[in-house]
């Protein structure tokens, strides 16, 4: 996905505030899920809450006002966890800004579950 | 520091959105710096930008609308990095919600620096 | 209520971003409702959504990093609308920063309702 | 401009939080300014801060998770003020969600100014 920094996402240093990268990455995951016909909002209405368990994020370079950037991911499943490897690259020069490993789990009625159907949808290659 | 969840910080699952914990932790660090007479805004005006290098965050439990919580930290210095170990606990029952390791670096004119004065202020025990 | 500006609420001009005043005012209204034993989240679970209909906001002065401020309101009921007159004042010197009129309506099953019970709770003077 | 609601912009009612519409409208104004070769960040570096003076916003309908919407504006100049008439429409059915009048002023060294050059750029029809 390609995004563009919005000025309100920058803090008084003139760079994107660290928390906004989590927003960008979350939106990228949700759009990816939608492409797989998995709706985050629908999951919630079905009583399954996908919640983050762990994020490991390295900030390599800062984005600034008006920068365009590419947000990409790949996904694997490990036990209870859906693991997203995510990167954000500045579009202009391809510089790596963010590298992150995001681990998600699914909770239903307060308990961890392995969402078999969701996992299959996640891992299936896109239809031709 | 003690905080209270604001409704606008909750997402459609009714829990605090993952990015807002980074906001809580950032505000806690900045208030800690102010207690040490280090102003984040002043640093920026002096040409030194404190930027995050790495965050490792584990989400243990979710905060919800109206929850009060305690945000605490301890700090060490390791080479170029100022390392904050941070925790967020629900006030009600003391449950650990977030555990994080936040690594910061200081940049001046585009180069990493070791801010000796800032590091000393960080590590000094508070005056009696 | 007394608040303190958090650095992440400031934009690259070094002042609080205009949208954050809506957050401050919303949080103030919700805390006011809670004092009246009206829970915004509980209302939602009961199928009644309180939604904003109209805001008229004048920006008189800007808040900056570390400013403390007072957020106050008074409320009236006019037909379908709950009307909040809100002000934000800088604590330091009492300067008026924001003056706003916020009109809310309540929706149940997609229709405007007059929430009699809620209105009474809103207008009742606090118990001694 | 066309936008798409991001899930983190929705609150626990499942609708876009009221403050986010100010973000959408601000981003639309800044993109409009950029098209006119006026950079908000550049203005700030030049010592001129464009600050909001007044917003009058009517919420007609709510946007929800995954909605796409169109954000449009027209601008006039009235004395010290740059006045933006803005609308947000749901893309799907063209329903009007937001109608707002946003009044901006420019401040240099703490004083209101009439930014002649900026005003001309604002009002000029786009080059063919």
Q: pLDDT tens across D111-121, in order?
A: 999 988 889 88
In chain B, what residues touch D14 (CB-CB under 8 Å)? 12
Buried b (16+ CB within 10 A) or exposed e, C59-82: beebbbbbbebebebebebeeebb
Tens digits of residue pLDDT in A47-79: 888 889 999 999 999 999 889 999 999 999 999
D10, D13, D24, best to mutate vs chain C, most C CBs in 10 Å = D13
- Asked if residue D69 is part of any domain, the answer here is yes
- Asked if residue C63 is part of any domain, the answer here is yes
Q: Which residues contact D40 (CB under 8 A, 6 or more apart)?
A: A7, A65, D30, D33, D34, D50
Q: What is the pLDDT of residue C40?
A: 67
Q: Which of D87, D83, D55, D48 is nearest to D71 (CA)?
A: D87
Chain centroid offset of residue D85 CA: 8
Interchain CB distance below 8 Å, B8 and D7: no
Interchain CB distance below 8 Å, B26 and A15: no
Q: What is the pLDDT of residue C27?
A: 94
Share of chain D above pLDDT 70, in %: 95
pTM of the model: 0.89
Residue range C2-22: average pLDDT?
Answer: 91
| Residue D59 CA: distances (Å) to CA of A90, C45, C62, D17 | 36, 22, 25, 11
Choose among A8, A10, A23: nearest Cβ to D6.
Answer: A23
Comparing D102 with A43, the larger pLDDT belongs to: D102
Q: How would residue A128 be classed by pLDDT, with cut points 50, 70 and 90? A: low
Helix/strand/coil for C67: coil
Helix/strand/coil for B93: coil
Q: How would residue B51 be classed by pLDDT, with cut points 50, 70 and 90? A: confident
Share of chain D above pLDDT 90, in %: 66
- Asked if residue A128 is part of any domain, the answer here is no
Interchain CB distance below 8 Å, B12 and A56: no
Query: Does B98 score more than 70 pLDDT?
Result: yes
Residue range C75-88: average pLDDT?
Answer: 96
Say which range, A96-110, B54-68, C25-39, has the weakest mean pLDDT: C25-39
Please state, in angstroms and rounded to a whole number, the distance separating the CA atoms of residues B33 and B39: 6
Please state, in angstroms and rounded to a whole number, the distance separating the CA atoms of residues D3 and C115: 34
DSSP character for C10?
B
Other CB atoms within a 10 A radius of the CB of residue A83 amount to 16
Looking up residue B56, the CATH number of its domain turns out to be 3.10.129.10
Helix/strand/coil for B48: strand
Please give the tally of structural domains in chain A. Answer: 1
Query: Does B50 score more than 90 pLDDT?
Result: no
Chain D residue with minimum CA distance to C110: D61
Q: What is the pLDDT of residue A70?
A: 98
DSSP character for D8?
G
Q: Which residues contact B116 (CB under 8 A, 6 or more apart)?
A: none
Q: How would residue B105 be classed by pLDDT, with cut points 50, 70 and 90? A: very high
Query: Does C121 score more than 60 pLDDT?
Result: yes
Q: How would residue A1 be classed by pLDDT, with cut points 50, 70 and 90? A: very high
- Asked if residue B128 is part of any domain, the answer here is no
Share of chain B above pLDDT 70, in %: 96
Comparing D101 with B39, the larger pLDDT belongs to: D101
Q: What is the pLDDT of residue C124?
A: 82
Interchain CB distance below 8 Å, A19 and B15: no
Comparing C75 with B37, the larger pLDDT belongs to: C75
Write the ipTM. Answer: 0.87
Q: Which of A115, A56, A36, A48 is nearest to A81 (CA)?
A: A115
Pairing of strands A81-90, A96-108: antiparallel
Query: Does A35 score more than 80 pLDDT?
Result: yes
Q: How would residue C100 be classed by pLDDT, with cut points 50, 70 and 90? A: very high
Please state, in angstroms and rounded to a whole number, the distance separating the CA atoms of residues C110 and C87: 31
By the 10 Å C-beta count (0-12 exposed, 13-18 middle, 19+ buried), C120 is classed as exposed
Helix/strand/coil for B50: strand
Q: What is the pLDDT of residue C37?
A: 84
Please state, in angstroms and rounded to a whole number, the distance separating the CA atoms of residues B63 and B46: 37
Choose among C44, C51, C57: nearest Cβ to D55.
Answer: C57
In angstroms, the separation between the Cα of residue A124 and the nearest Cα of chain B is: 26
Q: Which residues of C touch B (CB under 8 A)?
A: 6-8, 10, 14, 23, 26-27, 30, 34, 39-41, 64-66
Residue range D85-98: average pLDDT?
Answer: 97
Interchain CB distance below 8 Å, A55 and B55: yes
In chain B, what residues touch C13 (CB-CB under 8 Å)? none
- Asked if residue C128 is part of any domain, the answer here is no
Q: How would residue B49 be classed by pLDDT, with cut points 50, 70 and 90? A: confident
- Asked if residue B69 is part of any domain, the answer here is yes
Interchain CB distance below 8 Å, D40 and A6: no
Put residue C56 in one of left, alpha, beta given phi > 0 → left and psi -120 to 50 → alpha. Answer: beta
Q: What is the pLDDT of residue C127?
A: 56
Please state, in angstroms and rounded to a whole number, the distance separating the CA atoms of residues D122 and D104: 12
Q: What is the pLDDT of residue D49?
A: 85
Please state, in angstroms and rounded to a whole number, the distance separating the CA atoms of residues C104 and C76: 11
The tokens for A124 are: 């299936």
Interchain CB distance below 8 Å, D66 and A6: no
In chain C, what residues touch B27 (CB-CB under 8 Å)? 6-8
Chain A residue with minimum CA distance to D24: A6
- Asked if residue C62 is part of any domain, the answer here is yes
In angstroms, the separation between the Cα of residue B23 and the nearest Cα of chain C is: 7
Q: What is the pLDDT of residue C6?
A: 94
Q: Do B108 and B47 meet the contact criterion of CB atoms below 8 Å apart?
A: yes
- Asked if residue B127 is part of any domain, the answer here is no
Counted residue by residue, chain B has a size of 128
| Residue A24 CA: distances (Å) to CA of A95, A115, C100 | 17, 24, 32
In chain A, what residues touch C11 (CB-CB under 8 Å)? 7-8, 10-12
Residue range D11-16: average pLDDT?
Answer: 85
The tokens for A47 are: 């009583």
Q: Which residues of B touch A (CB under 8 A)?
A: 12-13, 15, 17-20, 22-23, 26, 41, 44, 49, 51-59, 62
In angstroms, the separation between the Cα of residue A122 and the nearest Cα of chain B is: 21
Mean model confidence pLDDT for chain D = 91
In chain D, what residues touch B17 (CB-CB under 8 Å)? 8
Query: Does D128 score more than 60 pLDDT?
Result: no
SS3 content of chain D, % helix, strand, coil (to 5): 25, 45, 30
Query: Does D58 score more than 70 pLDDT?
Result: yes
Helix axes D18-35, C18-35, angle to 10 degrees: 170
How many Cβ pairs within 8 Å bridge chains B and C? 42
Q: Do B68 and B13 meet the contact criterion of CB atoms below 8 Å apart?
A: no
* Residue-range definition of the domain harbouring residue A75: 2-123
Chain B residue with minimum CA distance to C6: B27
Residue range D49-70: average pLDDT?
Answer: 94
In angstroms, the separation between the Cα of residue D10 and the nearest Cα of chain B is: 6
Interchain CB distance below 8 Å, B12 and D14: yes
Interchain CB distance below 8 Å, B66 and C34: yes
Q: How would residue C128 be classed by pLDDT, with cut points 50, 70 and 90? A: low
């Amino acid at each position: 996905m390609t995004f563009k920094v919005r000025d309100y996402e920058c803090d008084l240093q003139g760079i994107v505030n660290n928390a906004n990268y989590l927003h960008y990455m979350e939106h990228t995951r949700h759009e990816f899920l939608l492409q797989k016909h998995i709706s985050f909002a629908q999951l919630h209405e079905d009583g399954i809450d996908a919640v983050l368990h762990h994020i490991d994020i390295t900030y390599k370079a800062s984005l600034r006002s008006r920068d365009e950037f590419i947000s990409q991911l790949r996904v694997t499943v490990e036990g209870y966890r859906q693991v997203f490897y995510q990167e954000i690259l500045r579009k202009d020069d391809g510089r790596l800004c963010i590298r992150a490993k995001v681990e998600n789990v699914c909770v239903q009625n307060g308990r961890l579950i392995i969402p078999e159907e969701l996992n299959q949808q996640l891992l299936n290659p896109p239809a031709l």
